[in-house]
Amino acid sequence: MSTSWIAVILTSIAALGLTLIPLPQPLQVHNPQWLLLTVIFWALYRPAQAGLIYAWCAGLLLDVAVNGLLGLNALLFTLTVFLVLSLRQRLAVAPLLSQALLVSGFTLLYLMIALWVEGVATDIISMATYLSRAVSNLAAWPIIYFVMTRLTTIRMPR
């Protein structure tokens, strides 16, 4: 059985819900970007169903949900998925630790561009705590990987 659009949409809505859960302020800064990780997962393992248009729509949905700069997450999700799709052949067969490191690198690039666009890169301490989300995403990638492979019927390459 192949993964359907319903699985992609349902997991994306669940990831958006996890992203929007209110946490105490010290923990909110380190909250992984669940929707971005989900978009990366689907782009990596089901690029025909979750490509650039899916990434743009998910980013736009996040922009609307968090009342952020409209189009920023849409653009950054699309750029991130473009990078994932360009490295997909190597990334899909890489060990989980290598995948997590590359995903962390993608999210670090995502966060740096977001900081640059938002113009908040003035205070080193606030910038370091904001960029700590890349470490959170590094830790969250194996969770996304195992949960998504268990929920869906994707056969992972060995």
CB 107 within 8 A of CB 36: yes
Prediction pTM value: 0.89
Percent of the chain with pLDDT over 70: 91
At 70 the three-state DSSP class reads: coil
**Residue 49 confidence class, pLDDT cut points 50, 70, 90:** confident
Which residues in the chain belong to E strands, given as ranges? none
Query: Mean pLDDT, to the nearest integer, of 100-117?
Result: 90
Instruction: Indicate the burial class of 9 (C-beta count within 10 angstroms; 0-12, 13-18, 19 or more).
Output: middle
Residues 97-123: what's their mean pLDDT?
A: 85
> What pLDDT sits at residue 116?
84
Mean pLDDT of the region 125-142:
85
Give 28's pLDDT tier (boundaries 50, 70, 90). Answer: confident
Give 58's Cβ-side CA count (13 Å radius).
34
Using pLDDT thresholds of 50, 70 and 90, give the confidence band for residue 1. Answer: very low
CA distance 19 to 1: 29
pLDDT for 77-97, tens place per residue? 999 999 999 999 999 889 999
| Residue 11 near residue 38, CB atoms below 8 Å | yes
**Percent of the residues in the chain that have a pLDDT greater than 90, as a whole number:** 61
Distance CA 93, CA 156 (A): 8
71: left (phi over 0), alpha (psi -120 to 50) or beta: left
DSSP string of 39-70, one letter each residue: HHHHHHH-TTTSSHHHHHHHHHHHHHHHT-ST
